[in-house]
């Protein structure tokens, strides 16, 4: 069994952004030389997430609207009593998930026809990372 670890780094321009990272994850898988296995993709910050879904602008907008309804920015959250102002970002990350595990078959990501991998940032404009850990057989 082989294990390869790489990191993807992001500094978003806005507080909340959704970034398609399928190609970057696929490149790490290819570089690893693993042909059968799994790849873990995990946001290493508590206000960012990773998820799999369709790459369609209307759906991404719908996620933004839905998340804002469930965890609105600007409320007087108890977390803010600690001096922080990002409770909504923590809640949004929990709703979207912080990591995904994806299959590798014949040396490639084995995704469904419309599935794409996304990095979701909810408290951005600073440098953050995602771990990509490829595990399997060459």
* Mean pLDDT of the 80-84 span: 93
Half-sphere exposure of 10 (CA within 13 A, CB side): 31
What is the per-residue pLDDT across 24-34, written as a single tens digit (0 to 9) for each?
A: 999 999 999 99
- The mean predicted confidence, pLDDT, of the chain is 97
Residue 82 is predicted with a pLDDT of: 94
Output the pTM of the full model: 0.96
CA distance 80 to 73: 11
Residue 11 is predicted with a pLDDT of: 96
The tokens of 108 are what?
A: 């490639």
What is the per-residue pLDDT across 126-138, written as a single tens digit (0 to 9) for each?
A: 999 999 999 999 9
What is the per-residue pLDDT across 3-39, written as a single tens digit (0 to 9) for each?
A: 999 999 999 999 999 999 999 999 999 999 999 999 9
Residue 65 is predicted with a pLDDT of: 98
**In b/e form, how buried is each residue of 117-128, taking b as 16+ CB within 10 angstroms?**
bbbbbbbbeeeb
**CATH number for the segment(s) 2-55+96-137:** 2.60.120.460
Residue 68 is predicted with a pLDDT of: 98
> Would you say 132 and 27 are in contact if contact means Cβ atoms under 8 Å apart?
no
């Amino acid at each position: 069994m082989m294990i390869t670890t790489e990191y993807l780094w992001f500094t978003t321009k806005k507080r909340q952004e959704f970034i398609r990272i399928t190609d970057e994850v696929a490149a790490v898988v290819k570089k690893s030389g693993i042909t059968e296995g799994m790849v873990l993709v995990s946001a290493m910050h508590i206000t960012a997430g990773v998820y799999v879904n369709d790459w369609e602008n209307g759906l991404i907008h719908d996620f933004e609207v839905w998340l804002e309804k469930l965890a609105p920015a600007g409320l007087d959250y108890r977390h803010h009593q600690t001096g922080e102002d990002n409770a909504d970002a923590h809640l949004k990350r929990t709703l979207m998930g912080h990591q995904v595990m994806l299959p590798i078959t014949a040396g490639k990501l084995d995704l469904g026809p419309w599935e794409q991998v996304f990095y979701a940032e909810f408290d951005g404009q600073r440098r953050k990372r995602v771990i990509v850990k490829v595990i399997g057989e060459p």
